[in-house]
Amino acid sequence: MKRPQTSTVPRFAVTNVSASSANISNLQVAAVIYAFDVPLHKSRPYDIQAGDGIKGNVVIWHFDQQDLAGNSPKQIAAKYLDDQWIALNPSNPLAVCRRAFDEFAKLKRHLNTGGIKTHTGAACRVTNTRKAAVLLALGHPLLGWQRNAQVTTWCFHEAAAADAALYDSPDLYETLPDAAISYAKGAILGHEQMVALAKQATTARVQHKGRTALIGRDIDKSKQDTIEKLLFRK
């Protein structure tokens, strides 16, 4: 997840207190809001409700306050879901985040159905599908792939190498907190972590430095590690 930094992303509109909080059931939107450094509600980060969703439940994420640029969760969600606004603001980090999710969905479909040509020439090669989706969202063209029984390698033009290296940098969020790649990476990895948390959540509670998460009482160690990364924004 992205770590909190002083945001320089332009405000979408003037925020007032009554409009600053939001309850979000869409995991993708929740991950994007969190990537914009909007904190989860300290005492009640989410609720589990019966209905459609993960294992027959709906996870409602509760956000409080606004990000450091003054954007409320409701404003971020509204812009993210506004097709026209996204089309008119393609370089905005919100638009890049949305493209990253769209490209990730396309890549996953290709993993099941094929349709990508094999590429054997010079390339920037990526084996992480989420990373590949972010590179596509940043505008790097996909040349093809290489596949075997163990791994799929996505092949990009060599010009993608710089952003590929940035994505892997452990200092990305500190050195480029408001770069589109930081938001997109934070959102797409945060989504993965939120899905894992939602699948395991029951009523147990973990707190750390003002942040709270509810986790399954019988959760295994690997899932606990995933939740800790989300909770601590690692």
| pLDDT bucket at 14, cuts 50 / 70 / 90 | very low
Domains of the chain, by residue range, sit at: 1-234
119 pLDDT above the threshold of 90: yes
- The reported pLDDT for the residue numbered 174 is 87
Reported as a single tens digit per residue, the pLDDT across 174-229 is: 899 889 999 999 999 988 888 777 666 554 344 444 454 544 444 455 555 555 55
CA separation for the pair 27, 42 (Å, rounded): 18
Provide the mean pLDDT of the chain: 78
pLDDT at 133: 98
Pairing of β 142-147 and β 152-156 = antiparallel
pLDDT at position 4 is 46
The answer to whether the beta carbons of residues 138 and 163 sit under 8 Å apart is: yes
Residue 95 has a pLDDT of 95
* Residue 52 burial (C-beta neighbours within 10 Å; 0-12, 13-18, 19+): exposed
Which residue reads 């089309």 in tokens? Answer: 87
* Predicted confidence band of residue 129 (pLDDT cuts 50, 70, 90): very high
Amino acid identity of residue 122, one-letter, is A
pLDDT at 110 over 90: yes
Question: CA-CA distance, 30 to 36, in Å (whole number)?
Answer: 10
Range of weakest confidence among 49-58, 96-105, 220-229: 49-58
Please state, in angstroms and as integers, the Cα–Cα distance from residue 73 to each residue in 2, 63, 196, 206, following that order.
16, 7, 22, 23
